[in-house]
Amino acid sequence: MTSELPRVAMLSVHTSPLDQPGTGDAGGMNVYVSELSRALARRGARVEIFTRATSSALPETVVLPGTDARGDALSREDSRRVLLAEHVEPGVVPPVLVHHVPAGPFEGLDKNDLPGQLCAMTAGVLRSEAARRPGWYDVVHSHYWLSGQVGWLAADRWEVPLVHTMHTMARVKNASLAPGDSAEPTGRIIGEEQVVAEADALVASTAEESDDLVALYDADPERVHVVAPGVDLELFAPGGPDGRAEARRALGLPLDRQVVLFAGRVQPLKAPDVLVRALGVLAQRPGAGRGVPLLVVLGGPSGRPTAVRELQALAATTGLADHVLFRPPVPRAELARWYRAADVVAMPSRSESFGLVAVEAQASGTPVLASAVGGLRSVVTDGVSGRLVHGHDPAVWADAIEEVLADDAARATLGLGARRHAERFGWDGAAEQVLKVYALAAARRRS
């Protein structure tokens, strides 16, 4: 592998970095893959992302937005020229390419159906080398266990190192299921074990995730490398002295109500129902009435298409319809405005390998109330950038919400601490560390 210009096959099988985060299977991993790829390209890496085609109308190859001035779509001729170019001009950032690989029906496939399409996905990825010289790729970097299965075979065929990022782990998720939620199947656990055993390097987002890989999957500690994801510190930034009011006017939010924001997929794992029930507790307390904050749920259904409607029904049956505002997922520039508009961002997740929403909110100068689970314990510093809440009892969450909203001065101090804390996370720094992981994985492969 050349240290100056590694060629990276980035695999994101079940969800595309082009998808809108916040609904279906699109979430923090989509942001992670796209932002890391851009940062690697800024350092001279040639990155190609492979994802499953979900529509016959998708071009075979597109340019990841923000990495090339010519636009998103590439003609077949341009695509071939960019793909086969041996060198990139000095000072030119190579475009990040996204390849849509046909593997099974374009539509109607749930994530749990995808293991049956991994052979087709692998064949499509392997064919990508046919038009190139042998040894084109230097490293395979897979994301989530489905991609790891494809990456395992591709790396073996190309005789290059396999680097894998788990993002979530079945054993961790199954240990903290929401009431009524389904456990991850045994087949996934076996698949994860295989990928962990075969990977030349594993990238964990936090020390907690690293410990879980070793304790729950018998990972070789020498192969596990902790690299914290980053955040776009320019996009997600405080809005100045009148930033919150400006954001609320732009979004049509009331200026005279306190706002709690939940941003993410609506599913049991993320536990937005805990926040609705917590509002119900607050509404029953003496002197509540108009003092109940406005809860904004910014996200779409995941797992069940009726998930949002079920949460709306819960709000209605508990008499909170006027206190909960539902909005669909939004592009990242508008998401930054929602963070700035909120008094506090709440993450009652039952499991999080990292918690990108928490970092983005803190970078925007908004404190975070987060469950004391997984990566959130590293991402949120209790008493400095927000509060860590233990458990998922709605009454406990009601206490935490009431406490942080009651003291404007303390909340402002938390907001300042949130921004300072978020400045530790940057995608350029993450890319630098990942490049070192690639080099270590290559050395291990050679040995």
User: Distances in Å between the alpha carbon of 268 and those of 64, 100, 113, 246, 264?
Assistant: 31, 30, 20, 33, 11
User: Distances in Å between the alpha carbon of 255 and those of 188, 190, 243, 425?
Assistant: 47, 51, 12, 31
Q: Residue 68 pLDDT more than 80?
A: no
Q: Residue 352 pLDDT more than 50?
A: yes
DSSP conformational letter for 105? -
Q: Residue 66 pLDDT more than 50?
A: yes
Q: What is the pLDDT of residues 273-295, one digit of tens each?
A: 999 999 999 998 876 655 799 99
Which residues are part of a known binding site for UDP-N-acetyl-alpha-D-glucosamine? Answer: 20-21, 28, 265, 270, 330, 352, 360
Q: Residue 179 pLDDT more than 90?
A: no
Which residues contact residue 281 at a Cβ distance below 8 angstroms, ignoring those fewer than 6 apart? 394, 395, 397, 398
Q: Is the dihedral of CA 88, 94, 95, 100 positive or negative?
A: positive
Q: What is the pLDDT of residues 30-63, one digit of tens each?
A: 999 999 999 999 998 999 999 999 888 889 999 8
Helix (H/G/I), strand (E/B), else coil: 40 = helix
Q: Residue 2 pLDDT more than 50?
A: no
Judge contact between 34 and 74, C-beta under 8 A.
Answer: no
Q: Taking the chain, what is the end-to-end CA distance rounded to the nearest angstrom?
A: 14
What residue has token string 């996905």? 121
User: Mean pLDDT, the chain, as a whole number?
Assistant: 90
Which residues contact residue 319 at a Cβ distance below 8 angstroms, ignoring those fewer than 6 apart? 280, 283
- Residue 168 Cα to chain centre, angstroms: 10
Q: Which tops the pLDDT comparison, 77 or 279? A: 279
Q: What is the pLDDT of residues 395-429, one digit of tens each?
A: 999 999 999 999 999 999 999 999 999 999 999 99
Helix (H/G/I), strand (E/B), else coil: 248 = helix
Find the helix packing angle between 332-341 and 356-363, rounded to 10°: 70
Q: What is the pLDDT of residues 360-380, one digit of tens each?
A: 999 999 999 999 998 999 999
DSSP conformational letter for 185? P
Which residues are part of a known binding site for 1D-myo-inositol 3-phosphate? Answer: 14, 25-30, 111, 144, 168, 188
Which residues are part of a known binding site? Answer: 14, 20-21, 25-30, 111, 144, 168, 188, 265, 270, 330, 339-340, 342, 352, 360, 366
Cβ neighbour number for residue 47 with a 10 Å cutoff = 24
Q: Residue 71 pLDDT more than 50?
A: no
Q: Buried b vs exposed e over 399-431: b needs ≥16 C-beta within 10 Å?
A: ebbbebbeeeeebeebbebbbebbeebbbeebb
Which residues are part of a known binding site for Mg(2+)? Answer: 339-340, 342, 366
Judge contact between 340 and 244, C-beta under 8 A.
Answer: yes
Domains and CATH numbers, the chain: 7-230+427-446 (3.40.50.2000), 243-422 (3.40.50.2000)
Q: What is the pLDDT of residues 224-271, one digit of tens each?
A: 999 999 999 999 999 888 889 999 999 999 999 999 999 999 999 999
Which residues contact residue 94 at a Cβ distance below 8 angstroms, ignoring those fewer than 6 apart? 41, 44, 45, 46, 47, 67, 88
Alpha-carbon gap, residue 138 to 2, rounded angstroms: 8
Q: What is the pLDDT of residues 87-103, one digit of tens each?
A: 666 566 788 999 999 99
DSSP conformational letter for 72? S
Q: What is the pLDDT of residues 135-169, one digit of tens each?
A: 889 999 999 999 999 999 999 999 999 999 999 99
